[in-house]
Structure 1
Amino acid sequence: MRDAEEFDGFYAACAGRIVGHVYALTGNRSEAEDAVAEAFMRAWQRWRTVREADSPEAWVRRVASRIAVSSWRKTLNRIRAHRRAAVDQSVPGLSVDHVALLQALQRLSANQRRAVVLYHLNDLSVAEVAAEMQVPIGTVKAYLARGRRAMAGMLTETHHEEASHG
């Protein structure tokens, strides 16, 4: 029990300072708090050794800083790997029809959009859509009918606008 009380006092005395230090290094409060929490967890696991260090606070600050830097390195490596992979892949451009379809979908209500996408793009049955959305089959049919009607009007408008500009 003495260890827990001693550690709690140590934490209360210096956690704020250490978060401030790591925040200044990272520029991100959330990352700083995560790194400091991890460092304090490691300090608790080794408390009998850490308490004997010249400065337990410096020990935690050093560990938290290393955790934060390690996190940066992992992120940087992920970004580099993504860029290397992206260089090797070509993404075809979106057609005018594809863009018009996406814009029309965005103008539907969330439930209509979800039903239309599940049914028409994911090829689920009405019963499967109802199960996934956790609504009655009749509700899915209504979402689909309203969504199709709205999209037909929007896509017809888009087609007429293109024809008059082209």
Structure 2
Amino acid sequence: MTQSPVSPQPRPARPAVTPSQAFDALYGSCAPALVRQTYLLTGRRELARESVERAFQQAWQRWPEVAVDPDPAGWVRAAAHDWALSPRHRFRLRHRRAEPPPADPSDRALLHALLTLSPARRRTLLLHDGVGLGLPEAAAETQASTPAAAGRLLFARETLAALVPDQAAPEVLRRRLDELATAQHLHAARPPSVRSRAERRTRWGTVGALAFTAAIVGATTQTLRMAQDHYERPVPRGTEIRDLPPRVAQGPLSEEQLELRALLESSPLHGPERVVPEAR
């Protein structure tokens, strides 16, 4: 007697992950470390938090693109580093004020050595020796060739070796970078607030784009209404002008006008007596 094969039981379907849940998971795993990395790039606590928040706002606004990216964490990291190193911050008043330095002398020396590097060399050093990216990956994220990134890295290491020789070794530098950033007690915003601010920025951007488009359409319409619809050739010099109305000749004076003229001509100084000064 043969037994009928037992059909396999279907596996329970996993609950679908919503975009907000996926975003919150990415934010929770990347944002705290990214704030510390950005602080090492800028030396400013508030700018580090702002850069990370702006990067995740951009990620939420472009979530369909970020969600399918091979490296969403790298996408957000590149956006945060780009915002943090933007030259526009030098014109902002609150970023011109001096930032309180770290309390530990060795931390102050290391941060000062990092800030003496150019932004490109500082970023390459942080990605390679701090984050642990390979040289080709660090070059791609900084939009440079691999030889250029290698030159930046070597120059940055030489500068640190001259300024902080006890902390410049690659095996020591990564630990010291983590200690320096962790000692600042930096905190990131909550994911729901980041998503709500991103959505608010999107709405305001849409309203601004519509208002700008309406202004352009109105200006174009007014220009078309006031513009000439045909070309008028300029009149050459010396051309006789025709079709002008003739000059109107002055007609004869009435009796009242003749009497008034005679009165004015007979008055002293051709004017009424009341305007003549009297001698005293």
TM-score by length of 1: 0.43
Q: Which has the higher contact order (CA 8 A, sep 6+)?
A: 2
Greater percentage in helix: 1
- Structure possessing the higher radius of gyration over alpha carbons: 2
